Amino acid sequence: MVKTLSRTGNSLALILDKPLLEATGIDADTPLEISTDGDVIVIAPVRPAAERRRFRAAAAAVTERYAGVFKRLAE
């Protein structure tokens, strides 16, 4: 997806489309963490620690269960 910035007063704004917001679970009340490595801007919703732990556990389980599939896909 390619987006351009919109002028808002003296600032610039990035308008996020509804499907993107729905896919990421972001709404107007979601706190966002914005970071950069000097080249890339990363915008991520701030999630409670418990939710992050559950996600990491689920990701580890999927990675372990499908390790062979991931390896074949990487080849």
Domain that holds residue 69: 6-74
Identify whether 34 is part of a domain.
yes
* 48 touches 31 (CB < 8 A): no
Confidence band for 46, pLDDT divided at 50, 70 and 90: confident
Q: Which residues contact 75 (CB under 8 A, 6 or more apart)?
A: none
Q: How many CB atoms lie within 10 A of CB 16?
A: 13
Identify whether 27 is part of a domain.
yes
Q: Domain with 53 in it: what CATH number?
A: 2.10.260
Confidence band for 50, pLDDT divided at 50, 70 and 90: confident
Count of domains forming the chain:
1
pLDDT at 26: 93
Q: In Å, how far are 3, 45, 67, 75 from 63, measured between CA atoms?
A: 32, 23, 5, 16
- Unique residue bearing structure tokens 């409670």: 48
Identify whether 1 is part of a domain.
no
Structure confidence by residue, pLDDT tens digits, 22-34: 999 899 999 999 9
| pTM reported for the whole predicted model | 0.54
